[in-house]
Structure 1
Amino acid sequence: MTRSQLQAPFGDEPCEDVPLSVAPLVRVLTQLRFDPLAVLDSPNAASLFAAEIGKDYPYLEKGAEFNMLITPGQVSPQMGQNAVWRFRSPDRKTVVSLSNGSLALETSVYGGRTEFCSALSSVSAALKKVAYVPAYTRIGYRYTNRVVDQNALANLPSLIRPEILGISGVQLDGRADLQHSLAQASFKIDASRGLLAQWGEMPPGGTFDPSLSSFEQRSWVLDLDSFYQSSEVSSDPEEVRGHAEMLSESAYRFFRWAVTDEFLSHFGGKL
């Protein structure tokens, strides 16, 4: 192993961040789940919440909640019944979503875990001003990477660890073309923490998640959802920040194990 690539996805060895100037990261999403609250079962809830965050997220859209049902071996999209309010930043690249049961922060312009976890803490504090949230039941931190660089796709065996590359690393010698391959692994880290990983090749116009736009050319994806789940997760904004930072570090460690130093260098990392 080189000094940068980790030996285990859930080890204790030091894992310093390696910023990537052209990272293939297309989305970062955090979500806080909670039991439905009476005060949020009202059209006025969006107005009250908007008054708290409107300066940073001035644009409003209303829609239906979109859920992903995760069962062993598959992820199935399901349209929820709850209304969801989406508040967008001035550049429309960061979104805060509120429903009666969840609060989420999503961005396509990720500035790092410190900045993002601080923003999550701020919107959770705003929610507490609107509604008393006794506790959260789940905190999730999700990274979605999508490699679309054709040069990188042609050299995946040098960029991705063999255990993750799987069938994408098999030489087919022109006898067939791999059209689609998606693997999934679920890990239990301790009594409350876990990680769901998905990776593989997508065909042109394909996507593994309906909430993520498709890409017109072939791509390779690595999606990591690190989560903390319990019946009583503190709703204190600073504790939310602490949990989010821990989950981010766990997902990043898996990412660093899955990719090689050549991957880091290819996408602008300085080793």
Structure 2
Amino acid sequence: MSATRPAVTHHRTAIVAGIDIFYREAGPADAPVVVLLHGFPTSSHMFRNLIPALADRYHVIAPDYPGFGQSAMPDHREFAYTFAHYADLIDGLLGQLGVRRYAMYVMDYGAPVGYRLALKHPERISALIVQNGNAYEEGLKEFWDPIKAYWADGSAAHREALAFLVAPETTRFQYTDGVRDVSRISPDNWVHDQALLDRPENKDIQLDLFLDYGSNVPLYPQFQAFFRDRKPPTLLVWGQNDKIFPADGAHPYKRDLPDLEFHLFDTGHFALEDKADEIFPLIHDFLDRKIGRP
């Protein structure tokens, strides 16, 4: 009896612009590259199951942003925790790794990081996989009202009002809300994420990022123009019960990507956690058709 050899995931750290950037890497070195860009409040940990599922035919790279996961956590008073800075650092990492063309999986914070990369190097993007990653104002619903108030004045009061977003009950909510069968969700997720959020001064890092998220919204028209002009092959796999990035933000992608492969799932924010059995085959089939080697 023969058995398929399991993929090996390597856990590495590169120094980019003086900052330690941790990343997970797997798959053949000469295979088409897929870059996985994580959301809040997690890290490349969210892709721990997807990576080996893709590594049979793809070179998979999943970095942690500074302040997340195993990457460095510089003092927020001395380091700019912004989405533009994150995009520059991920761009630098990919440059060090010799990656010149790649598909991107973007989720939550990964969307503005990835779409900023697309604006910098539109010719490098071979395909997109979008999972609860917003690029349209229609997707910023009631959940965002207190964050928008913070964008409006940057006040200490509005900043502190967002402290609930890094609280344990909110972290658990992000994994369980909208999920029909919570037994499919490992509690390790929110325990792991919360331990990192609870590090001294990490709260201030997250509050800086909540403020800077407002800098992404004026770029939405440019993101949308990239979709229209470059027409990257795109697969959308979205948890339709997500209160953070609801399906209101999924449907507008159809306007700019007429060949979009569109799938909504009966789950919440972290759709991979309970719908992997449905989503993983869709992703692999999509990549095989769009960027895979014969």
Per the TM superposition, whether the score is higher than 0.5 is no
TM-score scaled by length of structure 2: 0.25
Larger relative helix fraction: 2
Larger strand percent: 1
Query: Larger relative contact order (C-alpha < 8 A, sep ≥ 6)?
Result: 1
Using the size of structure 1 for normalisation, the TM-score is 0.27
